[in-house]
Amino acid sequence: PRSHVPAAHFAKGTYFALSGRPSPFRGLVYPLPQQAGLGVHATVDLAGRCRFGPDVEWTSNAEDVQVDPTRAAAFYAEVRKYWPDLPDGGLVPDYAGVRPKVSGRGEPSADFVLSGPSEHGVAGLVHLFGIESPGLTASLALARLCVESLDRESVR
C-alpha cells in the first residue's frame, strides 16, 4: 500500500578525482560525518587511483548525475581539512550518483526502513527503503532480517 512507502528524498553525491599524481593514501580516509552523509572522504581504487566524495546536494531529480565542476572549490576546502598538501588544480570532475534517503534536507538523519508483511499486510513482500552503501555492506544481515520478517508471517 502507498501509505507504507516513505517519502522520496534524493541526495546527489559528486566525486572528484586526483589528477597528475599517485594517491597519497593507501586506504580509505573518512573525515567526521556531516548531516546526511559521511563527509567528503578519500578512496583508492584497485588501480591506485584516488577520488574524493561524495558530497551531499539535495535534488528532486533521481536521474541528475551530471558533475558540476564549480563544486570543486568546496571539495578543495573539505579535502584540505585532512590533506593540506592537496595542490591547486589537483582535482578533476569524476562522476556523480544519487542516493535514496528516508529523511530529507534539514531533517535528522534516519537509517533505512525494512517493511515486511507485519507492517504493510501484503503476504510474501518485503520492501527495503533508503539503503546506501553501509546497508549494502551489511547485505547478508539484511537478507537475514528479510527472511525473519517472512518467517514471522508464515507462523501466523
> Tell me: the pLDDT tens digits for 69-92?
999 999 999 999 999 999 999 999
d(CA 92, CA 38): 21
Q: Is 60 helix (H, G, I), strand (E, B) or coil?
A: coil
For the chain, give the longest Cα–Cα distance: 63
Q: Which pLDDT value is given to residue 103?
A: 87
Pairing mode, strands 113-115 and 50-53: unpaired
For residue 68, pLDDT beyond 90? yes
Report the alpha-carbon distance of residue 102 to residue 14 in Å, rounded.
Answer: 20
User: At residue 92, what is the residue type?
Assistant: V
pLDDT per position as a tens digit, 105-149? 888 877 788 888 888 888 888 988 888 766 667 788 888 988 988
Burial of 104 (0-12, 13-18, 19+ CB in 10 A): middle
In contact, 117 and 41? CB cutoff 8 Å: no
Check: CB of residue 128 under 8 Å from CB of residue 142: yes
The residue type at 133: S
Provide the whole-model pTM. Answer: 0.79
C-alpha neighbours within 13 Å on the C-beta side of residue 120: 19
